Chain A
Amino acid sequence: GIQVEQSPPDLILQEGANSTLRCNFSDSVNNLQWFHQNPWGQLINLFYIPSGTKQNGRLSATTVATERYSLLYISSSQTTDSGVYFCAANYGGSQGNLIFGKGTKLSVKP
């Protein structure tokens, strides 16, 4: 079946370090989103990025649709960046169906 795979599953960083999170998807996608889940469970939108590159402050994302992967870059990490990062893809048909990866749990130490 259609799959979304994220790596690494866990990542521990010192404050100020940079990191790259990866998302591989098994088929062509219509939409791809990156989320940060806060400690209370809410999914916060980071990027809507079916292709190309976007930047928002210390975060940026790149999706290479032809090679079926997306990368999320976090620069100069802060303790508040800790949490779980999910990528999710929509493969067409009904547009409301996002397939989620299992997430990357990021811990930023002071």
Chain B
Amino acid sequence: KAGVTQTPRYLIKTRGQQVTLSCSPISGHRSVSWYQQTPGQGLQFLFEYFSETQRNKGNFPGRFSGRQFSNSRSEMNVSTLELGDSALYLCASSLEVGAGYNEQFFGPGTRLTVL
């Protein structure tokens, strides 16, 4: 079974532009979460989608948004990019079998550089 895939793997943008990142979860997984990793702040939760609905959101500005499609694939969008948005963006999916079980599996990440 294929793992979580993310595209693109690397991206270079300039300040003020916007960017869209894509994540395809493991087949059958319905929950997709996004995380940002920076040297200064570490790994931080962005948001989570389940059955096309945003279920939880981290403490990030409204420039960060996402969505999930009916096939569970998810995209996140960052508008008006700032230098501080340079980071590794990781996507994770989980199966959620029964109450409480929620092991998350991560994709390889998209490394975004903002110039």
Task: Give the B-binding residues of A (Cβ under 8 A).
Answer: 30-31, 33, 35, 40-43, 45, 48, 50, 86, 88, 90, 93-100, 102-103
A-B contacts, CB under 8 A, total: 69
Q: Note all chain B residues with C-beta closer than 8 A to A102.
A: 42
Q: Is the interface of B mostly helix, strand, loop or mixed?
A: strand
B22 within 8 A of A: no
Q: Note all chain A residues with C-beta closer than 8 A to B111.
A: 41
Kindly state the separation between the CA atoms of A90 and B54 in the bound complex, as whole angstroms: 17
Question: Judging by beta carbons under 8 Å apart, are B58 and A95 in contact?
Answer: no
Question: Judging by beta carbons under 8 Å apart, are A97 and B100 in contact?
Answer: no
Q: How far is the CB of A74 from chain B (nearest CB, A)?
A: 20
Other than A90-B102, A97-B56, give 15 A-B pairs with Cβ distance below 8 A: A31-B100, A41-B109, A42-B107, A43-B92, A43-B106, A45-B105, A93-B56, A94-B56, A95-B94, A95-B102, A96-B56, A97-B45, A99-B45, A100-B35, A100-B44
Question: Judging by beta carbons under 8 Å apart, are B103 and A31 in contact?
Answer: yes
B48 within 8 A of A: yes
Kindly state the separation between the CA atoms of A41 and B37 in the bound complex, as whole angstroms: 9
Question: Judging by beta carbons under 8 Å apart, are B96 and A95 in contact?
Answer: yes
Q: How far is the CB of B106 from chain A (nearest CB, A)?
A: 4
Q: Chain B residue with minimal CB distance to A38? A: B108
Q: Note all chain A residues with C-beta closer than 8 A to B45.
A: 97-99
How would residues 5 to 21 of chain B score, 1 for a CB under 8 Å from any chain A CB and 0 otherwise? 00000000000000000
Task: Give the A-binding residues of B (Cβ under 8 A).
Answer: 31-33, 35, 37, 42-45, 48-50, 55-56, 58, 88, 90, 92, 94, 96, 100-109, 111
Question: Judging by beta carbons under 8 Å apart, are B109 and A94 in contact?
Answer: no
Known: A94-B55, A100-B42. A42 touches B106 (CB 8 A): yes
Q: Which residue of A40, A45, A94, A96 has the most chain B CB atoms within 10 A of its CB atom?
A: A96
